[in-house]
Amino acid sequence: MSASTIDLVIVSQDRVMYKGTVDYVNVTAEAGELGIYPKHAQLLSRLKPGVVSFYINGEPHAMYTSGGFIEVQPNIVTILADVAIHAEELDKERILKAKEAAENRLSNSKDSEDIDIVAAKLKREIAKLRAYEYINMQKH
């Protein structure tokens, strides 16, 4: 690791998704989007469903995370994700179908508990779509 890079570890419930050195990291934290560069101030935050993007030698990479936690130390960022999926593994058609189903169910639901569950599902599908679009936009 050089002075211009930071170590990144992303762990989902079932495996290590990424472990290596990166230029910087962007996440969707509880308080909003957060950019983390080498020698960043220490912090601990919850993650919202969203995109974790990072650059390795100037090349973009992205993952969808359904939530979890991030810990930042001066030289290492650790992300503990409930679910993490590499953006390249996301299926746009599947995401769009799930998003449409959630929107339809949300518009037809009368039960407030069901509305909360479906709204959370919709947010996750939108976050997956953002991760898919982010990595595809970066490659063009």
Domain region containing 113 = 88-138
> Are 61 and 77 spatial neighbours (Cβ–Cβ below 8 Å)?
no
If asked whether residues 13 and 49 sit together in one domain, one would say yes
- Long-range CB contacts (within 8 A, 24+) of 2-9: 3/38, 3/39, 4/38, 5/38, 6/36, 6/37, 6/38, 6/40, 6/75, 6/76, 6/77, 7/75, 7/76, 7/77, 8/54, 8/76, 8/77, 8/79, 9/76, 9/77, 9/78, 9/79
If asked whether residues 46 and 110 sit together in one domain, one would say no
If asked whether residues 18 and 72 sit together in one domain, one would say yes
If asked whether residues 116 and 52 sit together in one domain, one would say no
- pLDDT score recorded for residue 128: 83
Which whole number is the average pLDDT over 120-140? Answer: 76
- pLDDT score recorded for residue 70: 96
If asked whether residues 29 and 81 sit together in one domain, one would say yes
Model pLDDT for residues 92-111, shown as the tens digit of each residue: 888 889 888 888 888 887 77
Model pLDDT for residues 78-97, shown as the tens digit of each residue: 999 988 988 888 888 888 89
In a domain, 1, yes or no: no
What pTM did the predictor assign? 0.79
If asked whether residues 59 and 119 sit together in one domain, one would say no
- pLDDT score recorded for residue 140: 53
If asked whether residues 53 and 97 sit together in one domain, one would say no
If asked whether residues 51 and 95 sit together in one domain, one would say no
In a domain, 127, yes or no: yes
Q: How confident is the model at residue 19 (pLDDT cuts 50, 70, 90)?
A: very high
If asked whether residues 63 and 100 sit together in one domain, one would say no
